[in-house]
Structure 1
């Protein structure tokens, strides 16, 4: 799959109708001609630290540049949409408006009060599950947006395994944006003619999915991890799966190393067809690799499955960079993650974390709301919320007095539960100042404040204790993320450009520092007051503006 797709990508001929030569360029002399922004979904700094010595391909190459092993998705809502919204905007969720993957808006006239982060609920028929894809909710511009405004010939492109990854990294003014919809790669952009490269990549994926796949060979370094671990909650054991699948099995295609190979092939094809990085202006391509996240959810982070995935993505990235090298493109890469993740509690206990546990299946907004309704004699859902943690919304159909009673009772119920660390009200968060200290020093309210939006956030927010896995029923997923703890917040941030010397850094930085650093590398002025991040002075070749 990897070799076939990348070979196909390299063979795509440039199509004049798609290639867009730069005009009226204002690029700074010596600036890279292509910014490659890579997000490996759920690639925690813990995984990077564990595997860095043995990843010798593409990740190995990036590890020879400027390496910040203590990067942070510093906010509390460590989910895909908020995380991706920070990478190319320089802003925390409190500024981007992307507080979670889903939130609730009770002013909606539709019966579905949930809102998906990258939908436009104004579109007729859109819902939080069958949604229109749009950057409507993103309140700030991305690097690609700003660059297109500054350099009229610049192109802003995104390719990802998830729509929310592509949308949040490219923003409001993309030239091409493609992402996986469960069956193939699609776009939300109207009036865009499908490039030949995309059609070819889609066909290559279709051909690959139509074939049986035997189990992958297990490298020696992965063999000690190939132990089947029984799990609680109804699911099958995990730990020793090697990604064999039957023809036509799209679900297991997505939960395998093949998925990221397909995404990188599509990105390589678009770079070639659009001649990205070969005009007078700087271009940007954002690439969201989702396989690590799907594998982490499906199998956990410490089994043979993740080991196979990381060796595979390392090889695929090596092929991808060699392809760019062969075209003579002067490119700069940043690699990070939208969030981290924790392993399954059953294996964590075996590895020395005795308190690791699955969340109480009854600790949900629905169940707590029902209990409060019975206690107070109220009708209706009483509480809206997405599971056992995060933002909770009191039912606005209740009278103001009953809303206050329900809120107090629900907060008391959550606080009394032994798996809940704390609860913050919207009033507490609104009164808190945005944190300014290094992200490794933040308190819990600092983390929650960085995810707070007064228009979209709930009436209160629930934080679970460390090592509590929010997945109670394991028939689909066995693990997830979203907590304020460092296994979900800490991510690697790697910068690389040809000629860089290795610089291994232990200082704590934020993903919001990526955009202003890239902007400085290409000479793009950014209003510091409009973002939360700062240009990183430790990246070779980047001259940060005076603060």
Structure 2
């Protein structure tokens, strides 16, 4: 049992963390960007491996990743530098150069302080279910639109497109935003073909191993090109390559096994499957990206592959390290197979990039990264029942509810998210929790947000299982105050002293939580492979830049994810015109 230390004993730690505080408003690097390259890149492709830990490149068979890492600029100590360490945050951080507190939303949960969605002042929303229009509405810094990578590329490379593609709608829409030209993701599950009721469904996508018609997914999003939506000219029920089998009952054993049953897979959304004409998963993402690469006039592309993330959530991230037979669909649900298939897709993408450069001239900058790391929930405090993932992550008291679809929602959800684990239920013993989100950190939005009420909730968090430190929002609302700590291991303490305050403060916004509890390493409340918090393993990400004009360099320089966009702009010879939290790094000696 970890013992709490009094706040008075934290003076030394607080002094150490004070040096890590970041500015309350976006700022560019005082010394200015690196000198403009002699031969700037003409295009940029960001390839993001969702939930990829840096060590996977060596642990698994990923020769393409290792080749680029070894021949480009590798920031070996890169980390996110912000909470929440999640997909719904990272894709906009990467394309804006901003920390969450400056970009409009700070986490999976959003308090609508300005009533942007018209559901009431301070109504709670789950951001993963927001639409593109919803994200565009909140992509503001104090009501002022901020430029993103697509805006800079449009200005510098007129008449070219910025394209985003991936499985997850929120990954694609957050990166696309208002100024992205094309954003392609997998649709929701569509009804199976029926000659009478659904004659335009896909009758060439049977359930695996059967002749029975199954549910399917197809390309969806913003300005989806017609060639991705192609069906047979004579028979529209014969669907084209980018339609994939995705029946809810096709779970490849993940609904029957523990811990995958907490958050099981469905069909070929993340698993490639065995139908050679309709492969899903990251293969679908890469093939769609290459088709657009060949058919569109683009200057920027963001390719986000989600299979490692899904498999890591199901099986425990880095703990899922046993050998797998990746020729079977059961094997494909594991981390090793997802990582190795993602690397195969990277090889295909690189071949397409080289062909584009040869055909159109100029050269393309390639960026390899991840949106977050992960940790294994060796110490797990969520429910262990089948399908418990979402109710472990999200808690809305049953009388308050939460809006689960942004501006298009008809009514709050009063039931789905009101069944928390016992530890989280105890958090609301005083009835002051409006909403909480818990993964590898615990965050609470309160009804009574007085200083005293926040301090009391921060004290309560310190007594919860797995908590190392708790914080409450300061009076100005632009940072957090450390309330107290519990004992930490030496490695945990070293990371926390260097980065804890810095990371927590990036959530200081009107829409963000009022109280935060950081957790020990290898600790989770959501699923057995999780992220979201401030631990080193969920903050560390690979960060590789490769292409003409990029030197072979392995550097220990500090690099945070908000630095990605400024670094891309500098490498492309594009002047930055708006302040960012990130700074540009040189890619050549």
Partner Cα distance (1:410, 1:213) in 2: 43
Q: How do 1:403-414 residues align onto structure 2 when only pairs under 5 Å count?
A: 406-414=453-461
Aligned with 2:240 (options 196, 203, 220): 203
Asked if residue 261 in structure 1 is aligned to residue 283 in structure 2, the reply is yes
Flag the 1:417–1:313 CA change in 2: closer, same or farther, 3 A. same
Partner Cα distance (1:406, 1:235) in 2: 43
Partner Cα distance (2:427, 2:163) in 1: 44
Flag the 1:102–1:214 CA change in 2: closer, same or farther, 3 A. closer
Query: Which residue of structure 1 aligns with residue 546 of structure 2?
Result: 496
Q: Give the stretch that moved more between structures: 334-343 or 499-508.
A: 499-508
Residue 456 of structure 1: how far off its partner (Å)? 1.0
Contact 1:390–1:463 (CA under 8 A) maintained in structure 2? yes
CA RMSD of aligned residues (A): 3.7
DSSP 3-state at the match of 2:344: helix
Query: Which residue of structure 1 aligns with residue 473 of structure 2?
Result: 426
Residue 61 of structure 1: how far off its partner (Å)? 3.4
DSSP 3-state at the match of 1:35: strand
DSSP 3-state at the match of 1:204: coil
Query: Which residue of structure 1 aligns with residue 266 of structure 2?
Result: 251
Contact 2:71–2:546 (CA under 8 A) maintained in structure 1? yes
Contact 1:255–1:291 (CA under 8 A) maintained in structure 2? yes
Contact 1:420–1:463 (CA under 8 A) maintained in structure 2? yes
Residue 359 of structure 1: how far off its partner (Å)? 4.8
Segments of structure 2 that go 5 or more residues without pairing to the other structure are 1-35, 141-145, 190-216, 233-238, 273-279, 325-333, 384-420, 482-493
Contact 1:439–1:509 (CA under 8 A) maintained in structure 2? no
Residue 147 of structure 1: how far off its partner (Å)? 1.9
Contact 2:471–2:517 (CA under 8 A) maintained in structure 1? yes
Residue 137 of structure 1: how far off its partner (Å)? 1.9
Residue 339 of structure 1: how far off its partner (Å)? 0.5
Asked if residue 136 in structure 1 is aligned to residue 157 in structure 2, the reply is no
Query: Which residue of structure 1 aligns with residue 582 of structure 2?
Result: 533
Partner Cα distance (2:114, 2:426) in 1: 23
Residue 176 of structure 1: how far off its partner (Å)? 0.8
Query: Which residue of structure 2 aligns with residue 338 of structure 1?
Result: 371
Query: Which residue of structure 1 aligns with residue 435 of structure 2?
Result: 384
Partner Cα distance (1:116, 1:433) in 2: 23
Asked if residue 362 in structure 1 is aligned to residue 362 in structure 2, the reply is no
Asked if residue 91 in structure 1 is aligned to residue 139 in structure 2, the reply is no
Contact 2:377–2:522 (CA under 8 A) maintained in structure 1? no
Query: Which residue of structure 2 aligns with residue 325 of structure 1?
Result: 354
Aligned with 2:564 (options 511, 514, 535): 514
Flag the 1:363–1:63 CA change in 2: closer, same or farther, 3 A. farther
Query: Which residue of structure 2 aligns with residue 161 of structure 1?
Result: 167
Aligned with 1:458 (options 501, 513, 516): 513
Flag the 1:83–1:321 CA change in 2: closer, same or farther, 3 A. same
Aligned with 2:85 (options 57, 78, 92): 78
DSSP 3-state at the match of 2:63: coil
Partner Cα distance (1:446, 1:429) in 2: 17
Flag the 1:495–1:478 CA change in 2: closer, same or farther, 3 A. same
Greater percentage in helix: 1
Could you report, residue by residue, the CA deviation over 1:6-25 in whole angstroms, capped at 9, with x for unpaired residues?
A: xxxxxxxxxxxxxxxxxxxx
Could you report, residue by residue, the CA deviation over 1:17-72 in whole angstroms, capped at 9, with x for unpaired residues?
A: xxxxxxxxxx9983323210111111122434544xx4213553344211112111
Partner Cα distance (2:281, 2:554) in 1: 30
Query: Which residue of structure 2 aligns with residue 294 of structure 1?
Result: 310
Q: How do 1:261-280 residues align onto structure 2 when only pairs under 5 Å count?
A: 261-276=283-298
Residue 532 of structure 1: how far off its partner (Å)? 1.3
Residue 94 of structure 1: how far off its partner (Å)? 2.0
Q: How do 1:8-19 residues align onto structure 2 when only pairs under 5 Å count?
A: none
Asked if residue 37 in structure 1 is aligned to residue 38 in structure 2, the reply is no
Partner Cα distance (2:245, 2:161) in 1: 30
DSSP 3-state at the match of 2:443: strand
Contact 1:49–1:69 (CA under 8 A) maintained in structure 2? no
Residue 209 of structure 1: how far off its partner (Å)? 5.7
Query: Which residue of structure 2 aligns with residue 124 of structure 1?
Result: none
Contact 1:133–1:163 (CA under 8 A) maintained in structure 2? no
Residue 484 of structure 1: how far off its partner (Å)? 0.4
Flag the 1:48–1:395 CA change in 2: closer, same or farther, 3 A. same
Flag the 1:132–1:519 CA change in 2: closer, same or farther, 3 A. closer
Aligned with 1:60 (options 62, 67, 71): 67
Contact 1:372–1:410 (CA under 8 A) maintained in structure 2? no
Contact 1:390–1:461 (CA under 8 A) maintained in structure 2? yes
Q: Give aligned pairs, total.
A: 435
Partner Cα distance (1:151, 1:130) in 2: 28
Q: Give the stretch that moved more between structures: 130-139 or 517-526.
A: 130-139
Partner Cα distance (2:549, 2:231) in 1: 34
Could you report, residue by residue, the CA deviation over 1:223-250 in whole angstroms, capped at 9, with x for unpaired residues?
A: xxxxx9xx9xx972469xxxxxxxxx97
Flag the 1:185–1:73 CA change in 2: closer, same or farther, 3 A. farther
Query: Which residue of structure 2 aligns with residue 236 of structure 1?
Result: 257
Contact 2:132–2:173 (CA under 8 A) maintained in structure 1? no
DSSP 3-state at the match of 1:287: strand
Q: Give the stretch that moved more between structures: 39-48 or 513-522.
A: 39-48
